[in-house]
């Protein structure tokens, strides 16, 4: 039962965060790039204010998987880097925090481009 509530929380919070994005797309015609940029900045600001961590504590992956979680991670990484390295941390914190996700996207993206043929059907329409 406990595991069920955990997944339910991840589903509801994650779904809600995504639904906000859909409302923005439908009402404002914001492009995907702008939506993603907005989410990352919003996540960074919420993370900086310490308001995102409670959502992560509550929903787990429901909060970390949406791109706002990526933003909150940037803020957290920045804090940790400055605590450790002082001034230099301002220049290293951001990239250190997002290194895993960005490296994964670059490397797997490159691998897919090398191995696969263009098959993303929706793009061809």
Partner 1 sequence: MDISKKEYEQTAKKYAGSSKMYITIPMAFLIGGLICCIGEFFLNMYQQLAGLDFDQASAYTSITLVFLSALFTGFGWYGRIAKHGGAGTLVPITGFANAVVSPALEFKTEGYVLGTGAKMFVIAGPVIVYGIAAAFIYGIIYYIYGFFS
Q: Scan residues 9-28 and list those touching partner 1 (CB under 8 A).
A: 10-26
Binding footprint of partner 1, residue count (CB under 8 A): 83
Name the nearest CA neighbour of 66 among 104, 40, 93, 30.
40
Binding characters for partner 1, 25-64, by CB under 8 A (x = yes): xx--x-xxx-xxx-xxx--xx--x----------xxxx-x
Q: How far is the CB of 83 from partner 1 (least distance, A)?
A: 8
Name the nearest CA neighbour of 66 among 12, 104, 111, 109.
12
The three-point CA angle 21-25-26 to 5° equals 115
Q: Restricting to residues 79-108, name those near partner 1 by CB under 8 A.
A: 79, 81-82, 86-87, 89-91, 93-95, 97-98, 100-102, 104-106, 108
- Supply the angle between the helices 52-59 and 32-49 in degrees, to the nearest 10: 100
């Amino acid at each position: 039962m406990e595991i069920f509530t955990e997944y339910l929380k991840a589903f509801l919070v994650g779904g809600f965060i995504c639904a906000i994005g859909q409302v923005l797309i439908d009402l404002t015609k914001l492009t995907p790039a702008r939506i993603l940029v907005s989410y990352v900045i919003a996540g960074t600001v919420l993370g900086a204010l310490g308001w995102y961590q409670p959502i992560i504590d509550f929903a787990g992956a429901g909060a970390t998987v949406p791109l706002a979680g990526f933003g909150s991670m940037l803020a957290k990484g920045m804090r940790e880097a400055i605590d450790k390295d002082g001034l230099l941390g301002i220049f290293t914190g951001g990239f250190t925090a997002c290194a895993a996700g960005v490296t994964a996207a670059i490397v797997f993206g490159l691998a897919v481009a090398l191995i696969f043929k263009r098959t993303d059907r929706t793009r061809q329409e």
